[in-house]
Structure 1
Amino acid sequence: MRVVSISVNGLKQAAENGFFDWLVRQDADVVCVQDIRGRVYEFDDDIYHPEGFEAYFLDAEDVEQGGVAIYTRHFPKAIMYGFAYEPADRQGRFLQADFENVSVATILAPSALENADRQEEKDAFFQAFGDHLQKTLRKRRQFIFAGNFQTAHLVTDASTKFHKMEVSGFYPDERGWFDNVFDNMGYVDAFREVNRNKNQFTAWPMWAKGWRKQAGWRVDYQIATAGIRNTILDAFIDSETRFSDHAPLIVDYDIEMP
């Protein structure tokens, strides 16, 4: 099973720049899209429904706050819209598809990078989503949570530019959230499980200047339950593809899809 995660900064502009031509070439089973910036009804046109894929969308009350989508070659057993945290559900931040052997969710965390007033909102989201991850551990199936978390975990996940800054997305408590998820809850950073290369960045903030250069960070993740650890075959960032200031994160799993 191949899972792709990509934050597009608007699905309409991504489509105009060839996103769907790229998508169908990826041989992906599930494509998790974040930051679609549009109403669900605006994606009725055929261009947003490539042949061979089922498409599911969740929009945001304020479309500029994001919204998420899932494209899949396999018909899900169920779709879950939101994770019962009202602010995130209203802002279109979580959408999950349940398949026979695994559930795959797409997530868009709030950003406070250019608006410090939103840091409290971001912190509250991570508290709520951490609680959701804790509850998920009681379930008898495997999960992959793929998305734009607007935060880099380790110093190796960010260029030295960010090491020297007090900036949302690299605050100690934000990075500590990942410590808790991976070290205490036992979830797996699917990418780092098999890819230990340096300078593996997925996003380049516009003010940081440096697409395909070093002023980047890895804020896009696929967080998997522990039972998936031994199924992770390969993980890479398609840094040559650009539909936004994020690059696609691609992970291959030895999981059979019906």
Structure 2
Amino acid sequence: MRVISFNTQGIEQAADKGFFDWMAKQDADVVCLQSLRAKEYQLDGDRYHPEGYHAYFFDAFEDGFSGVAIYTRHVPKAVMTGLGFEQCDFNGRFIQADFDKFSISSFTIPSGLKSDEAQAAKIEYLELFMGHLKKTLRKRRDFIFTGTLNIAHKPVDLSNWYVNQRVSGFLAEERAWIEEVFGDLDYVDAFRQVNKAERQYTWWPDYNRAWKLNEGARLDYQITTPNLRKTIKSASIYKDQQFSEHAPLIVDYDLGF
């Protein structure tokens, strides 16, 4: 089973840059998209509905905000949207598709780069999302969470990490949060489970120089429950084309529907 996760930073812009043409060639079972910045009714054309995929969306209430989607070749048993708190549900930040043996979600955590207020909102969001992750471990099924955490886990996941220790995305409290997820809770960073290479980033600042020099951060993840650890077979980041400031994250699992 192949799962692709990608932060579009505007699905219409990503489509203009060829994302769906690329996606059609990847033989993915599930594609999880984030930061659509468009509403479902605006995406009813063929360009947003590749042949062979069922598409499910969760819109933000306000125009220009996040919005998430799941494209799947297999019809889910159920689709859940939202997590029950305003920061998530008002801004369209979580959608989950339930299949027979597992569930897959598409999510975003807000960025804290704009201001102190934005960072405080991010920390509040992380605390609420942590509560959901803890509750998930009590359920009798496996989960794959895909999306943008807006946190680099370790120095290897961020270029120029030393000078960025006081910047949102690599603050001590943020790294403590993600360390609890992959440490105490025993969730699995699917990419790092099988790919130990250095300078593996999924986001670069909005200028071509950072992309070309590969000066970025790994802010996008596929996170699995502990039972799926041994099913992760390969993981890569697609960087040959630039569809947004983020790059698609591709993970292959030894799982069937």
Aligned equivalents of 2:155, 2:235: Cα separation in 1: 19
Matched, 1:73 2:77: no
Aligned equivalents of 1:49, 1:116: Cα separation in 2: 39
1:200 Cα deviation (Å)? 0.3
1:176 Cα deviation (Å)? 0.8
Aligned equivalents of 2:68, 2:241: Cα separation in 1: 20
1:45 Cα deviation (Å)? 1.4
Q: Which residue of 1 aligns with 2:52?
A: 52
Q: Which residue of 1 aligns with 2:8?
A: 8
Matched, 1:164 2:163: yes
For residue 218 of structure 2, give the secondary structure of its aligned residue in structure 1.
coil
Contact 1:110–1:150 (8 Å) recurs in 2: yes
For residue 80 of structure 1, give the secondary structure of its aligned residue in structure 2.
strand
For residue 242 of structure 2, give the secondary structure of its aligned residue in structure 1.
coil
Matched, 1:204 2:210: no
Aligned equivalents of 2:139, 2:119: Cα separation in 1: 31
CA RMSD of aligned residues (A): 1.3
1:208 Cα deviation (Å)? 9.7
Q: Which moved more, 1:206-215 or 1:52-61?
A: 206-215
Matched, 1:214 2:214: yes
Structure 1 segment 38-117 matched on structure 2, within 5 A: 38-117=38-117
Structure 1 gaps of 5+ residues are none
Contact 1:208–1:216 (8 Å) recurs in 2: no
Residues 228 and 45 from structure 1, CA distance in 2 versus in 1: closer, same or farther, beyond 3 angstroms? same
Aligned-partner residue type, residue 163 of structure 2: K
* CA-to-aligned-CA distance 1:74-126 (integer Å, 9 cap, x gap): 00000000112222111000000011111000011101123332111111111
Aligned equivalents of 2:14, 2:94: Cα separation in 1: 20
Aligned-partner residue type, residue 131 of structure 1: G
Aligned-partner residue type, residue 52 of structure 1: G
Structure 1 segment 93-242 matched on structure 2, within 5 A: 93-160=93-160, 162-165=161-164, 166-206=166-206, 209-242=209-242
Contact 1:241–1:248 (8 Å) recurs in 2: no
Over the matched positions of the two proteins, sequence identity in percent amounts to: 49
* CA-to-aligned-CA distance 1:128-183 (integer Å, 9 cap, x gap): 110000000000000000001111111111012x3212210110100111110011
TM score, norm. by length of structure 1: 0.96
1:21 Cα deviation (Å)? 0.9
Aligned equivalents of 1:212, 1:250: Cα separation in 2: 21
Residues 12 and 113 from structure 1, CA distance in 2 versus in 1: closer, same or farther, beyond 3 angstroms? same
Aligned equivalents of 1:124, 1:153: Cα separation in 2: 19
TM score, norm. by length of structure 2: 0.96
Structure 2 gaps of 5+ residues are none
* CA-to-aligned-CA distance 1:186-216 (integer Å, 9 cap, x gap): 1000000000001000000227950142320
Q: Which moved more, 1:217-226 or 1:105-114?
A: 105-114
Aligned equivalents of 1:203, 1:143: Cα separation in 2: 24
- Aligned residue pairs total 256
